[in-house]
């Protein structure tokens, strides 16, 4: 439901789970999301912003559009 979450501005992100077991990388996950889910540059930037805010900003101010 990635595109639905993004369309509704629901904070979400991608993670390369079990990297050592499956050889996954963040770059690979983003590539797959672009190819199979239609992820755009703007959406990737928004997810990156959300992730940074969740880590570093105790008030977490999230963007509402791309």
Residues 37-44: contacts with CB under 8 Å, at least 24 apart: 37/2, 37/3, 38/3, 39/2, 40/66, 42/66, 43/6
Give pLDDT tens digits along the chain (66 positions). Answer: 899 999 999 999 998 888 788 888 999 999 999 999 999 999 999 999 888 888 876 666 666 655
pTM of the predicted model as reported, rounded to 2 decimal places: 0.75
Do 51 and 26 form a contact (C-beta atoms < 8 A)?
no
């Amino acid at each position: 439901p990635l595109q639905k979450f993004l369309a509704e501005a629901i904070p979400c992100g991608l993670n390369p789970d079990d990297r050592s077991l499956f050889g996954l990388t963040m770059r690979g996950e983003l590539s797959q999301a672009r190819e199979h889910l239609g992820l755009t540059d703007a959406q990737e930037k928004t997810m990156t912003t959300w992730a940074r805010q969740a880590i570093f900003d105790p008030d977490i101010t999230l963007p509402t559009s791309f």
